[in-house]
Structure 1
Amino acid sequence: MPRPHSDNGRVELRLRPEDKAVLTRAAAIERLDLTGYILRNMLPQAEAVIEREERLQLSERDSLHVLDLLENPPPAPARLIRAAKAGFTLE
């Protein structure tokens, strides 16, 4: 039965005994406890995943196109102009 959620900073990790033995041995070689070893090796990877997924990367061509649109925006559609004249607000 699952335990109630508690944000106490703990994470449970179920490993095969042979996988835990490998991680424990590597941690000992680097003079770290298992938690320190896992954190040191996994946090940079987690941060890289977040960075990769949250950053929008444009090609040079697309970057130039965006800059051109900012400097020379297309005319507003008639529907938008009518809404602005009618006092429409986006609340």
Structure 2
Amino acid sequence: MPRKIVETNSRVSLRIPSEDKALLVRAVDLEQTTLTDFMLRYALQAARTVIEQAERVELNQRDSLHVLDLLENPPAPNTKLMQAAQNLPPSP
């Protein structure tokens, strides 16, 4: 279960095995940076990748053409769509 983010604290605590920490420290030494900067840089890269993959839809050429065709020639509304439109609140 996700935990609530505490907005007043910019700290993040991690508990990791000593072998993993040693690996991180070795990488930090090679990059000549701090552990915080190293972890933040790569964690943010990973976060951006995860978000992009979750939010982006890539279509192949056939599906792209199908979507464009539907936009140019939309199908007639079905009964469910008409009922949903009638149940919308009036616009201001």
Q: Do Structure 1 and Structure 2 share a fold, with TM-score over 0.5? A: yes
Give the superposition deviation at 1:62: 0.9
Task: Return structure 1 stretches of 4+ with deviation > 2 angstroms.
Answer: 4-7, 76-79
Give the match for residue 90 of structure 1.
88
Pair 1:65 & 2:66 matched: yes
Unaligned runs of 5+ in 2: none
Give the match for residue 6 of structure 1.
6
TM-score, normalised relative to structure 1: 0.74
Give the superposition deviation at 1:52: 1.0
1:5-62 Cα offsets, whole Å, 9 max, x none, are 6321211110112221221122122111111111122211221111011001111111
If you compute each CA radius of gyration, which structure gives the higher value, 1 or 2?
A: 1
Q: How large is the Cα RMSD of the aligned pairs?
A: 2.5
Give the percent of matched residue pairs that are identical in Structure 1 and Structure 2. 49
Aligned residue-pair number: 84
TM-score, normalised relative to structure 2: 0.74
